[in-house]
Amino acid sequence: EAGVTQFPSHSVIEKGQTVTLRCDPISGHDNLYWYRRVMGKEIKFLLHFVKESKQDESGMPNNRFLAERTGGTYSTLKVQPAELEDSGVYFCASSQVIRDRKTEAFFGQGTRLTVV
């Protein structure tokens, strides 16, 4: 079974440009999460989808970040316009719910975003 896949693995863009990160969760996983780690900092929660609905987006830094999960399958995270401080590694994770309990979260390998 394929794990969580993220694309691209690395993206280098100039300040002011737009970048879209994609995450394909494990098939059948309703929960999808986005996390980010800025260099030297902890992994921080960004937002959580349950199917196509945003359950919690309290971690989104600002309105330059837009996440979507149309159809409840893959998700995209768009940064527009990108700023230098957006550089970091963006992780996606998915999990399912069995009898009201979340299973372990499976993480993708991350997308390294470098804004220059």
Residue with Cβ nearer other proteins (56 or 85):
56
- Quote the tokens at residue 54: 């945003």
Binding mask 60-89 for other proteins (x = CB under 8 A): ------------------------------
Of the residues 15, 27, 43, 80, which one makes contact with other proteins according to CB under 8 A: 43
State how far Cα 6 lies from the chain centre: 9
Q: Are strands 111-115 and 88-95 parallel, antiparallel or unpaired?
A: antiparallel
Residue with Cβ nearer other proteins (35 or 79):
35
- For residues 6, 8, 14, 20, the Cα torsion angle rounded to the nearest 10 degrees is -50
Q: How far is the CB of 81 from other proteins (least distance, A)?
A: 27
